[in-house]
Chains A and B, each alone.
Chain A
Amino acid sequence: AQKITQTQPGMFVQEKEAVTLDCTYDTSDPSYGLFWYKQPSSGEMIFLIYQGSYDQQNATEGRYSLNFQKARKSANLVISASQLGDSAMYFCAMREATYSSASKIIFGSGTRLSIRP
């Protein structure tokens, strides 16, 4: 069964520092996708970055990068030069590729990131 594990319930980071949010996953399917979402206090889930299981290079989107270590089944999110607006809940999530077009995303329990000025 699919599973996403985020072991850091909360983190405090000084503004402008880099931060790494941990994520490990479990799946038996060789083809899958990994996502990171940001959820501010307003509640909306904001897509940050995607990594496919067959992608050779780590995904990057602006200040966000995904450190993908397939053998270890980890997909850590790295935020460079953190900003006050980065304070939010961050969720790691996974979608398995199947021969059915129906898709669901499995989420981890989240990490609450707080940026100190």
Chain B
Amino acid sequence: DAGVTQSPTHLIKTRGQQVTLRCSPKSGHDTVSWYQQALGQGPQFIFQYYEEEERQRGNFPDRFSGHQFPNYSSELNVNALLLGDSALYLCASSLWDTTQKSSYNEQFFGPGTRLTVL
């Protein structure tokens, strides 16, 4: 049973460029969340996708956008890269919480993509 996979592992870009990161969720999962983790900090929530729609978004500018495909995989796109976008980008998959009120919804994380912006 494959876990969450992400590609590429590492990426180097220059300021102003655009980047696309990819994530395949754990088998059986239908929801993908993206997090940005700057060096020495905890992950910060970017957004979450379910049924190919963005369901919730953190405090990130519109330069950050995403997409979810019918097979539940997801992409994170960042336009006009800034030096401050250098970080580890983590993808997490889970099952959509159909109980409508549950605090337990374990998210399984992938190994991350380390983005360096020069």
Contact = CB atoms under 8 A, between A and B. Distances in A.
Interface in B68-83: none
B110 A103 contact: no
| Contact-residue size bin, chain A (C-beta under 8 Å from the other chain) | 20 to 34
B56 A102 contact: yes
B33 A104 contact: yes
A105 to B, nearest CB: 6
B8 interface: no
Interface residues of B, number: 32
Nearest to A95: B103
A29 B90 CA distance: 27
A59 to B, nearest CB: 11
A98 B103 CA distance: 8
Interface of B: 33, 41-45, 48, 50, 55-56, 58, 88, 90, 92, 94, 96-98, 100-112, 114
Given A43-B114, A53-B103, 15 more contacts: A43-B90, A43-B112, A52-B103, A91-B42, A93-B42, A97-B103, A100-B100, A101-B55, A103-B105, A103-B107, A104-B58, A105-B33, A105-B43, A105-B45, A106-B45
